[in-house]
């Protein structure tokens, strides 16, 4: 297959899998991070170093200014980045491995359900973006000195899109080890290392702020460290398992407590995988480069610092390229054995068809907030936000009794969960139970004094109880926190 035909094939295939879901709603972090935030930005006066270093933020701003808060525009951007990444995987693969292996790898990467969080989910698009910029940088690096500074430029775009790209400079070194001449070309790596060092310092200074933000949003202490002897085997084995059998996909990978025998099997699998990677690396076997690609892409997410998830599907978007290419190499070897050609071809067709089917099904679960949280409740029943979100699902459907039950379940899983207390109190208010509403709303602000919605609802409770002075006090606190909210301005006219 010619390169042009391959590009056309991949473009049509990805479009077929994702364009029918272009109109999926804003969900999860999209609401606060885009719908409620982007309209308040003023690029000229507010964007600057260092608050808005991420290039993805700039793209969001431009998308909003051109098209408004239209989910199709934001999601199309993600789809185009994914198509571009698939194209570049094919180009890079053809350069470093056999064309058939590159085609199989690109096909797997194009349709695999693990990429959905980085494509369909608007807020997850940053992973597709930094991967595309790095692939472009790497492709220009392969072209030699004439394209060197273009490679550096796109590498800067990659690391300015996400801090997750900081580990990727190692791939230039690994490439020279496997395919180039490290002794001769070591100076070519200096520019990448300088960019890395500068941004490592910058991002490192923000770890404290990031930890505080996560602590505030999750209402759980994030002090201390995760045990890497547990974290790394669980993470890597989970990604390998999801690559082979992508079932149980979920936004919240919270069900990571395993019996000892299960963990032991995972640890052995990971040790074998890492051992094979090291062996192939030292022997300079081509497959070692792609296994190294998989590991290096995951490095920023394997930190013991509690600033992210142990397992998240979007984390593996870039690394999926490495494991897909390793699979492509192995599949090509098997296909060249005459007795195995037909069986392996049948297995490959079934595998790709299965991935495509699962991708379409999973994309349908991302259509709305309700469909997403209903699916998440099945796969992540021990995560408190799951039940807080399910409470919202029931509330939107008018089933307040089930909403109360869900909010209580969220609180039982995390007694410090202020948002769930607020939602429970708000639901009781809608049900006319002022005593329970007041109790839970007060508990919410005792845990998070910035919940202006709780002050607003307490103002309503006090007004209903004819306590006008308390109503005024609560309303004034709410207005201090959200002075432009229209619901507060309407309530102010009623109470005052």
Domains of the chain listed by start with CATH number? 3-365 (no CATH), 383-495 (1.25.40.10)
Q: Are 421 and 441 in contact (CB under 8 A)?
A: yes
The predicted structure's pLDDT at residue 206? 58
Q: What is the 3-state secondary structure (H, E, C) of 362-428?
A: HHHHCCCHHHHHHHHHHHCCCCHHHHHHHHHHHHHCCCHHHHHHHHHHHHHHCCCCHHHHHHHHHHH
Distance CA 34, CA 71 (A): 10
Helix (H, G, I), strand (E, B) or coil at 225: strand
Q: Are 215 and 341 in contact (CB under 8 A)?
A: no
Distances (CA, A) of 389 to 20, 43, 474: 25, 32, 26
Task: Say what angle helices 148-161 and 125-142 make with each other, to 10 degrees.
Answer: 170
The predicted structure's pLDDT at residue 397? 94
Q: Are 111 and 356 in contact (CB under 8 A)?
A: yes
The predicted structure's pLDDT at residue 303? 84
The predicted structure's pLDDT at residue 344? 87
Q: Are 327 and 104 in contact (CB under 8 A)?
A: yes
In sequence order, which residues have a C-beta less than 8 Å from that of residue 172 and are 6 or more positions away? 138, 141, 188, 189, 192
According to DSSP, the residues that pair with 305 across neighbouring strands are 225
The predicted structure's pLDDT at residue 219? 56
In sequence order, which residues have a C-beta less than 8 Å from that of residue 481 and are 6 or more positions away? 450, 452, 455
Q: Hey, CA dihedral for 169, 171, 174, 179, is it positive or negative?
A: negative
Distance CA 423, CA 408 (A): 10
Quick one: the chain helix, strand, coil %, rounded to 5?
Answer: 80, 0, 20
The predicted structure's pLDDT at residue 451? 93
Look at residues 154, 306, 320, 180 and name the one whose alpha carbon lies nearest to residue 240. 320
* Long-range Cβ contact pairs of 467-474 (< 8 A, separation 24 or more): 468/495, 471/495, 472/496
Distance CA 325, CA 303 (A): 25
Question: 345-354 burial by CB neighbour count: b if 16+ within 10 A, else e?
Answer: eeebeebbee
Name the pTM for this structure. Answer: 0.91
Q: Are 408 and 440 in contact (CB under 8 A)?
A: no
The predicted structure's pLDDT at residue 47? 46
Per-residue model confidence as pLDDT tens for the chain (496 residues): 788 999 999 999 999 999 999 999 999 999 988 998 888 776 554 444 444 457 888 899 899 999 999 999 999 999 999 999 999 999 999 999 999 999 999 999 999 999 999 999 999 999 999 999 999 999 999 998 889 999 999 999 999 999 889 889 999 999 999 998 888 888 888 888 888 887 776 666 555 555 554 545 545 544 567 888 899 999 999 999 999 999 999 999 999 889 999 999 999 999 999 999 999 999 888 899 999 999 999 999 998 877 788 999 999 999 999 999 999 999 999 988 878 888 888 999 999 999 999 999 999 999 999 999 999 999 999 999 999 999 999 999 999 999 999 999 999 999 999 999 999 999 999 999 999 999 999 999 999 999 999 999 999 999 999 999 999 999 999 999 988 888 888 888 788 7
Give 164's DSSP letter. Answer: G
In sequence order, which residues have a C-beta less than 8 Å from that of residue 149 and are 6 or more positions away? none
Helix (H, G, I), strand (E, B) or coil at 305: strand
Distance CA 480, CA 496 (A): 16
Distance CA 327, CA 346 (A): 16
∠ Cα 163 166 169 (to 5°): 160
Look at residues 367, 339, 371 and name the one whose alpha carbon lies nearest to residue 121. 367
Length of the chain in terms of residues written:
496
The predicted structure's pLDDT at residue 426? 96
According to DSSP, the residues that pair with 225 across neighbouring strands are 305
Q: Are 178 and 286 in contact (CB under 8 A)?
A: yes
The predicted structure's pLDDT at residue 163? 86
Q: Are 130 and 162 in contact (CB under 8 A)?
A: yes
**146 exposure class (CB count in 10 Å sphere: 0-12, 13-18, 19+):** exposed
């Amino acid at each position: 297959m010619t390169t042009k035909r391959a590009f056309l094939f991949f473009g049509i295939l990805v479009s077929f899998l994702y364009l029918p879901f272009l109109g999926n709603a804003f969900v999860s972090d999209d609401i606060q991070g885009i719908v409620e935030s982007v309209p308040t930005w003023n690029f000229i006066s507010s964007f600057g170093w260092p608050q808005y270093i991420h290039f993805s933020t700039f793209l969001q701003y431009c998308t909003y200014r051109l098209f408004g808060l239209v989910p199709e525009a934001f999601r199309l951007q993600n789809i185009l980045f994914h198509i571009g990444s698939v194209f570049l995987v094919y180009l890079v693969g053809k350069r470093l491995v056999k064309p058939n292996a590159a085609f199989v790898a690109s096909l797997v990467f194009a349709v695999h359900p693990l990429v959905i969080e980085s494509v369909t989910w608007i807020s997850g698009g940053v992973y597709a973006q930094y991967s595309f910029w790095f692939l472009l940088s790497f492709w220009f690096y392969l072209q030699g000195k004439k394209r060197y500074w273009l490679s550096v430029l796109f590498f800067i775009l990659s690391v300015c899109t996400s801090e997750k790209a900081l580990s990727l400079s190692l791939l230039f070194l690994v490439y020279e080890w496997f395919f180039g001449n490290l002794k001769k070309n070591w100076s070519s790596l200096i520019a990448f290392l300088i960019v890395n060092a500068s941004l490592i310092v910058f991002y490192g200074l923000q770890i404290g702020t990031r930890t505080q933000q996560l602590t505030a949003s999750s209402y759980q202490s994030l002090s201390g460290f995760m045990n890497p002897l547990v974290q790394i085997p669980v993470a890597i084995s989970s990604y390998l398992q999801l690559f082979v059998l992508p079932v149980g996909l979920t936004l919240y990978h919270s069900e990571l407590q395993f019996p000892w025998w299960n963990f032991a099997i995972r640890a052995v699998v990971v040790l074998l995988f890492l051992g094979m990677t090291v062996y192939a690396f030292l022997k300079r076997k081509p497959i070692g480069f792609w296994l190294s690609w998989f590991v290096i892409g995951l490095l920023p997410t394997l930190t013991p610092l509690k600033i992210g998830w142990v397992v998240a599907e979007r984390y593996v978007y870039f690394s999926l390229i490495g494991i897909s290419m390793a699979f492509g190499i192995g599949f090509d070897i098997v296909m060249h054995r005459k007795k195995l050609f037909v069986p392996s071809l049948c297995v490959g067709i079934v595998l790709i068809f299965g991935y495509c089917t699962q991708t379409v099904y999973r994309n349908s679960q991302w259509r709305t907030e309700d469909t997403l949280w209903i699916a998440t409740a099945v796969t992540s029943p021990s995560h408190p936000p799951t039940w807080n979100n399910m409470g919202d699902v029931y509330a939107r459907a008018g089933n307040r009794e089930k909403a109360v039950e869900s909010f209580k379940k969220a609180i039982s899983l995390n007694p410090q969960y202020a948002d769930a207390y607020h939602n429970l109190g708000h639901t009781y208010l809608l049900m006319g139970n002022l005593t329970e509403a007041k109790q839970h709303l007060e508990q919410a602000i005792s845990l998070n004094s910035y919940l202006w919605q709780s002050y607003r609802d307490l103002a309503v409770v006090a007004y209903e109880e004819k306590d006008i002075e308390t109503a005024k006090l609560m309303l004034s606190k709410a207005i201090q926190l959200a002075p432009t909210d229209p619901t507060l301005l309407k309530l102010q006219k009623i109470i005052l």
